C-alpha cells in the first residue's frame, strides 16, 4: 500500500539543467455550457532535458475555483473538440496529471508551477493538449492546445537524455543496495536526487552497487551520466 501512495501522490521536481523547450497553450474557452470555467491568460508547457515536464501559469491566468480541479497534459489522438469535452473520452486517452488548482475563493488566478517526471509508458511528442478537469464531479472544465514537441522544434528530443531503458536497476523498490546492470555505455558518474531536487548521493566509482540504506523512504531520481555527457534517468523507490 505504501508503494502505491508514493507513486500516486508523487509530484517530482528534480535537479534541472539549463536546456529546455517550451510551447504556449492556446485556444482555451471551450466550455460553452459554463463559461465561467473557461481558462484565460498564459499557460506554458516546458520540456526539460532531465525527463521532466513543467506547466506554468502566468500572472494573467484565471479560471473559476472548484472543489477538485486538476490540470492534465493529454495526447488527444484523433478526438475532435466536441469529443474531447466528453470526460469519458478524455479519460480514455494517454495523459499526465500535473497537479490540482486551489479550491478556495471563487477564482483561481496568478502564477503557478507544476512539474512531473515523464512516465516511461507515454510518448511525449504525441501530447498536444492542456486539459482542466473537475475530478470530484467528473466535470469538464476547459482545454487548450499546444504545438507538440518534436525534433524540429526541440533539438534534444532525440538525445540520449530521453532513453530511459538503456540500463536496468534492481531491486526496485530497494531497501539497502541498488544494483545497476545491462548498461550499454561506459558510466562516468551516478547521482541520486530526492523529491526536493537535492543531491543526496554521488558516485564516480563502483557504479554497479549503490548503498541506499541511509536514505529515508520515498521516491528518488537516479541520474546516470556516461563519458560523452549523456544523461539517463530512472525513478527508484526506497522502502
Q: What is the 3-state secondary structure (H, E, C) of the chain?
A: CHHHHHHHCCCCCCCCCCCEEEEECECCCCCCCCHHHCCECCEEEEEECCCEEEEEECCCCEEECCCCEEEEEECCCCCCHHHHCCHHHHHCCCEEEEEECCCCCCEEECCEEEEEECCCCCCHHHCCEEEEEECCCCEEEEEEECCCCCCCCCCCCCCHHHCCCCCEEECCCECCEEEEECCCCCEEEEEEECCCCCEEEEECCCCCEEECCCCCCEEEEEEEEECCCCEEEEEEEEC
Which pLDDT score, from 0 to 100, does residue 6 have? 39
* CA-CA-CA-CA dihedral for 158, 159, 162, 166, to nearest 10: 110
pLDDT in tens, 99-157: 999 988 899 999 999 999 888 778 888 999 999 999 999 999 999 999 998 877 887 67
pLDDT given for residue 46 in this prediction = 94
Same domain membership, residue 138 and residue 36: yes
The confidence score (pLDDT) of residue 182 equals 61
Give the CA-trace dihedral at 86, 94, 41, 111, to 10 degrees.
130
Q: Tell whether 136 and 183 lie within a shared domain.
A: no
- Domain span including residue 61: 21-145
Are the CB atoms for 237 and 173 separated by under 8 Å?
Answer: yes
What's the CATH code of the domain at 230? 2.60.40
Q: Number of structural domains, the chain?
A: 2
Q: Give domain status of residue 8, yes or no.
A: no
CB 71 within 8 A of CB 144: no
**End position of a domain, from candidates 112, 145, 178:** 145
Q: Are 213 and 176 in contact (CB under 8 A)?
A: yes
Q: Are residues 200 and 93 in the same domain?
A: no
Residue 114 maps to a domain: yes
Of 88, 112, 145, the residue that ends a domain is: 145
Residues 38 and 138 in one domain: yes
7 domain-assigned:
no
12: in domain = no
Spatial strand order of the sheet with 139-145 comes to 95-100, 69-74, 129-134, 139-145
pTM, entire model: 0.63
Asked whether residue 132 is assigned to any structural domain, the reply reads: yes
Q: What are phi and psi of 4, to 5 degrees?
A: -65, -45
Per-residue model confidence (pLDDT) at position 166: 59
| Selection from 216, 178, 220 nearest residue 197 by Cα | 220
pLDDT in tens, the chain (239 residues): 444 333 333 333 333 333 588 999 999 999 999 999 999 999 999 998 778 899 999 999 999 999 999 999 999 999 999 999 999 999 999 999 999 999 888 999 999 999 998 887 788 889 999 999 999 999 999 999 999 988 778 876 755 444 554 578 899 899 999 998 866 667 888 888 887 677 899 998 888 899 999 999 888 878 888 777 776 777 788 88
Residue 1 lies in a domain: no
What pLDDT score was predicted for residue 9?
A: 33
pLDDT at position 160 is 44
User: Can you give the pLDDT at residue 86?
Assistant: 97
Same domain for 108 and 187? Answer: no
One domain, residues 82 and 129: yes
Q: Grid coordinates representing 45?
A: 508547457
* Residue 221 β-bridge partners: 193, 235
Amino acid at each position: 500500500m505504501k508503494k502505491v501512495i508514493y507513486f500516486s501522490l508523487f509530484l517530482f521536481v528534480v535537479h534541472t539543467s539549463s536546456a529546455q523547450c517550451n510551447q504556449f497553450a492556446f485556444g482555451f474557452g471551450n466550455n460553452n455550457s459554463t463559461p465561467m470555467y473557461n481558462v484565460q491568460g498564459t499557460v506554458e508547457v516546458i520540456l526539460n532535458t532531465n525527463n521532466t515536464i513543467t506547466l506554468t501559469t502566468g500572472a494573467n491566468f484565471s479560471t473559476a475555483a472548484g472543489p477538485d480541479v486538476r490540470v492534465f497534459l493529454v495526447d488527444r489522438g484523433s478526438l475532435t473538440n466536441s469529443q474531447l469535452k466528453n470526460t469519458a473520452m478524455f479519460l480514455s486517452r494517454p495523459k499526465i496529471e500535473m497537479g490540482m488548482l486551489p479550491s478556495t475563493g471563487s477564482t483561481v488566478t496568478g502564477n503557478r508551477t507544476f512539474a512531473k517526471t515523464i512516465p516511461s509508458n507515454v510518448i511525449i511528442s504525441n501530447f498536444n493538449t492542456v486539459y482542466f478537469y473537475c475530478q470530484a464531479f467528473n466535470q469538464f472544465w476547459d482545454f487548450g492546445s499546444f504545438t507538440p514537441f518534436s525534433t524540429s522544434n526541440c533539438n534534444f528530443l532525440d538525445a540520449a537524455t530521453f532513453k530511459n531503458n538503456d540500463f536496468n536497476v534492481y531491486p526496485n523498490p530497494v531497501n539497502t543496495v541498488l544494483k545497476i546492470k545491462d548498461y550499454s555505455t561506459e558510466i562516468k558518474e551516478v547521482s541520486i536526487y530526492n523529491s526536493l531536487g537535492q543531491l543526496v548521493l554521488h558516485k564516480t566509482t563502483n557504479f554497479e552497487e549503490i548503498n541506499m540504506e541511509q536514505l529515508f523512504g520515498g521516491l528518488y531520481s537516479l541520474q546516470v551520466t556516461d563519458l560523452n555527457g549523456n544523461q539517463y534517468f530512472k525513478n527508484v523507490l526506497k522502502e
